Amino acid sequence: MTRRPALAVLAALATTACIGATTDSPAPLDVKTPGSWRRLAPMPTARQEVAVAVLGTRVLVIGGFGPGAEPVASVEAYDPATDTWQTHAPLPAATHHAAAAVLDGRLFVVGGYTGGRVRWTPAATVYEYDAARDSWATRAPLRAPRGALAVAALHGRLHAVGGSADGVTGAHEVYDPAADRWTAAPPLPTPRDHLAAVAFQGRLWALGGRESFTGTQHATVEIYDPATDAWSAGPPLPVGRGGLAAAALADRVFVLGGEAPLRIFSATEMYEVAGHRWIGKEPMPTPRHGIGAGVVGGRIYVPGGATAPGYARTDVNEVYTP
């Protein structure tokens, strides 16, 4: 299966986009405790549509689009303690729009697309990183190849949800690392790609995403409870978009950035459990999409991404302190 990106359309949209420095969110702004953003050492390789995960105390940025809208296999790790970057062994194949998660200290990179300017091919590949050897190994593939999906670790399993191949899917697969096997689980009620996912309070949250670049931009939040093996509706985002990132702290969920036709988002929004509502926080200094987020020491790190709709890679690396 292949997918041909309309890069010319994306480039045109990027040149006409209005990129603001204020939050594109109708959520009530928290003026008392908005948190703060700070710029850090830039990534060695500017790229977007990356996978991001935290391994130990380092933020790893994996794959993505590099120069010329072509995929890269680059893997770079940011150390918050020293504000420095280190290059690691590249992925076995150049991949963009993949997802990554750490499960019991093991880093997995799931799905994505290979190919760039001419044609995207959805991948079912799953790679595991061996930090001691700085090398990658191939694990059991997804049952359904797809890119622009989301992955999160929950109760000793990986959950891979959504994404697209020839069209968006609600596919939900669960990986057992002991058996090296994927099994089907109840599908995501709203098929979508370019979504985000986090494990929060023992359940899986699937947030935002889209039907297509110019199609429906979902504010949908759906929550999977492994105890009941079922999905339920969660609190919808203040505004729908794809290409966003999400992060969970002990008692809060954050969504950051994103993209919709002719718009780029700087929004930082937090779900307040006690008030059952989304609250606007200090917006991102650099509006971006095609990003991921990692949490180290209670701070949220957001490296790379694109600074305009479509293709506009950046090396920006910023951290949010709640």
Burial tier of 34 (Cβ tally within 10 Å: 0-12, 13-18, 19+): middle
What is the mean pLDDT of each successive set of 10 residues along the chain, which is 322 residues long? 44 38 73 96 98 98 95 98 98 98 97 91 98 98 98 98 97 98 98 98 98 95 98 97 96 96 93 94 96 98 96 97 97
d(CA 151, CA 174): 10
Cβ-based neighbours of 215, under 8 Å, separated by 6 or more: none
pTM to 2 decimal places: 0.94
d(CA 218, CA 192): 8
Give the model's pLDDT for residue 116: 86
| CB neighbours of residue 36 within 10 Å | 11
Give the model's pLDDT for residue 24: 72
CA 286, 210, 149, 262: dihedral to nearest 10 degrees?
-30
* Contact by Cβ (8 Å): 102, 110: no
Give the model's pLDDT for residue 3: 52
Alpha helical stretches, state H, 1-71: 7-16
Give the model's pLDDT for residue 58: 98
Phi-psi region of 209 (alpha: psi -120 to 50; beta: other; left: phi over 0): left
Structural domains of the chain, with CATH: 7-321 (2.120.10.80)
Phi-psi region of 194 (alpha: psi -120 to 50; beta: other; left: phi over 0): left
Q: Which amino acid is at 65?
A: F
Give the model's pLDDT for residue 14: 39
